[in-house]
Amino acid sequence: MSTEDRTWQGPSAPDRLNLLRQATSIAIVGASDKPSRASYFVATYLQSSTRYKVYFVNPVVKEILGQPTYASLAELPESPDIVDVFRKHDDLPGVLDEAIAAGAKTLWLQLGSWHEEVGADAETAGLNVVMDRCVKIEHARFHGGLHLAGFDTGVISSKRQVLA
């Protein structure tokens, strides 16, 4: 779907910040144990740089970053505040059904992921919805950890840093 075909309006930046502030747990659906995958990068960031309890949902892999994985959202020990989704477009309605059944508060579709019907259905079910945004980027942006390359350099300067 092209951006001009989009009709759903997502939450504002202050609203996204509030969703992240209120959350205590995030379940990553489609989490991967492969360092080359975006979900692995996000998982690493969330584990090392946030206070969230992070759950990994993947029915094939047994462990990611030293933590056990869960085959589905239904197996989690608690209802996740945010369900961060790294799944293909056609899988999103099923993930929404699982998120609703698990008692999730927010359905968060990662960068490049947009599904108007799923967004509308999630809101009808009482969930907050964020689409086409990365949890890691949003968290880092709101908490001062975003740099051109996506890392916190610890340097405050108006000049672009040369990366060695």
Q: What is the average per-residue pLDDT within 96-125?
A: 96
> pLDDT by residue (tens digit) across 13-51?
999 999 999 999 999 999 999 999 999 999 999 999 899
Alpha helices in 1-144 (DSSP H): 13-22, 38-49, 92-102, 116-124, 135-142
pLDDT of residue 99: 98
CA dihedral 142, 143, 148, 151 (to 10 degrees): -140
Percent of the chain residues past pLDDT 70, beyond the cut: 85
In the predicted structure, residue 154 carries a pLDDT above the cut 60: no
- 64 forms beta bridges with 67
CA 9 to CA 14: how far, in whole Å? 14
Handedness of CA 138, 117, 29, 37 (dihedral sign): negative
> pLDDT by residue (tens digit) across 125-151?
999 999 999 999 999 888 765 554 444
Q: How confident is the model at residue 5 (pLDDT cuts 50, 70, 90)?
A: confident
Handedness of CA 57, 51, 110, 130 (dihedral sign): positive
- Give me the chain's average pLDDT, please: 88
Q: What is the average per-residue pLDDT within 103-125?
A: 96
In the predicted structure, residue 152 carries a pLDDT above the cut 90: no
Distance from the first to the final alpha carbon of the chain: 39
Per CATH, the number for 11-142 is: 3.40.50.720
In the predicted structure, residue 6 carries a pLDDT above the cut 70: yes
Percent of the chain residues past pLDDT 90, beyond the cut: 77
Domain residues of the chain, as ranges?
11-142
Q: How confident is the model at residue 87 (pLDDT cuts 50, 70, 90)?
A: very high
3-state secondary structure (DSSP) of residue 45: helix
pLDDT of residue 146: 54
CA 70 to CA 58: how far, in whole Å? 6
DSSP-derived secondary structure for 30-43: T--S-TTSHHHHHH
